[in-house]
Amino acid sequence: VSKMLLDGVAHVSFVQDALDGILSLVGNTTDATIDSSPEIALLQQGPAGIALLQKQQNANGTNHTSLESLTPLIMSAVHNVLQTVVEKVNTTLNDLLVKIKPALLQVGTWMLQFGNKIQAGIEAFSATLDKVQKIFDQIMSQLHGKGGNEELMLNQTFNLFDVTEDGLISAEDLKDVATLYSITALQGDLSDQLVK
């Protein structure tokens, strides 16, 4: 399956190159159409070219406006270019689907066959990891005990919340702490409610 997927990736690269070639073909076809049609070449020259085209039509005795007489020519050229491009894109994308289909079918089979087993294994591993974490936390708390830094810890924690350093923790202090440390639980009206 790895080989099939690698072949699929290689074919995607081929499709990208083919699409680049198609865009180049569109440009080349457009250039060839412009070169073969003096009327379209004149349109590319801007207002001066349009004026010259109108003079030519008046000299030939045509009563159509320049756009009316060019419409069939332009539509034909656009239709031919688009038809060629669509055929090339269709062929290339069909080739891509043919190349990548076996790999996708195999991946789908594996998902159906092993998906539930893998999910159950991940869930069991997660539950085991949670149990190990709880055991580790219990062992660490028994090893270290309470410690002698409780007073220092309370003082430093209080100082974190006493932003105005006035010896009190006000609702405004809690709002400032919420902003400073991005604590969403303290933002809004909750700070006022906690102080009351």
Contact 137, 48 (CB under 8 A): no
Name which residue leads in pLDDT, 13 or 165.
Answer: 165
Contact 8, 101 (CB under 8 A): no
pLDDT in tens, 105-144: 888 888 888 888 888 888 888 888 788 788 877 777 777 6
pLDDT in tens, 81-102: 778 778 888 888 888 888 888 8
Residues contacting 37, CB < 8 A, separation 6+: 73, 77
d(CA 162, CA 158): 6
Indicate the pLDDT class of residue 57, thresholds 50, 70 and 90.
low
Q: Is the pLDDT of residue 67 over 60?
A: no
Determine if residue 182 is left, alpha or beta; phi over 0 gives left, psi from -120 to 50 gives alpha, anything else beta: left
